[in-house]
Amino acid sequence: MSDQTIKLIAAGVLLLHGLGHGGALGALAWIRFRPGTPTGDWHAARSWLAPSLSADSATRVASVLWIVSLIGFVVAAMSFWGVLIPAGVWQPLAVASAVVSIAGITAFFGTWPMFNTIAALAVNVAVLVAVLWLHWPSAAVLAS
């Protein structure tokens, strides 16, 4: 696989993962403004870590986590691809966004569909492993 293909896939994964957090925000908005309508396996935000949070407070906390993750991953994707943002910014942004996303998934575990939860966790863990443990990508990949 060429370095350009790898860059395109990596930037695409970061971008899609960021936009996926927008889907969670959309689900929260749908549940709030259209109560009682079918939502699949999406449920109102509630945290097992803070069960005393009101529904509004839980929704606000979850929304902030998803907004931070969304913006962080989208900006990390742009930085990785070298669009508008310095290329060296993507790694700390991606790591911070993955940590925030994992914190949100953990705090609100069981609230959203299991497939979405597992997929999001997998991408977050992949980002952390790639950047922090494997020190990926190499300078050669980024330079191409």
Comparing CA positions, the residue from 1, 2, 8, 6 lying closest to residue 83 is 8
Please report, in angstroms and rounded to a whole number, the separation of the first and last CA atoms in the chain: 13
What does the pLDDT look like over 85-106, one tens digit per residue? 777 788 999 999 999 999 999 9
Whole-prediction pTM = 0.86
What does the pLDDT look like over 106-136, one tens digit per residue? 999 988 888 888 999 999 999 999 888 877 7
pLDDT for 143 equals 53
What does the pLDDT look like over 37-75, one tens digit per residue? 777 777 777 888 888 989 889 889 999 999 999 999 999
pLDDT for 142 equals 53
What is the full DSSP assignment across 67-81? HHHHHHHHHHHHHHH
39 contacts 105 by C-beta, under 8 angstroms: no
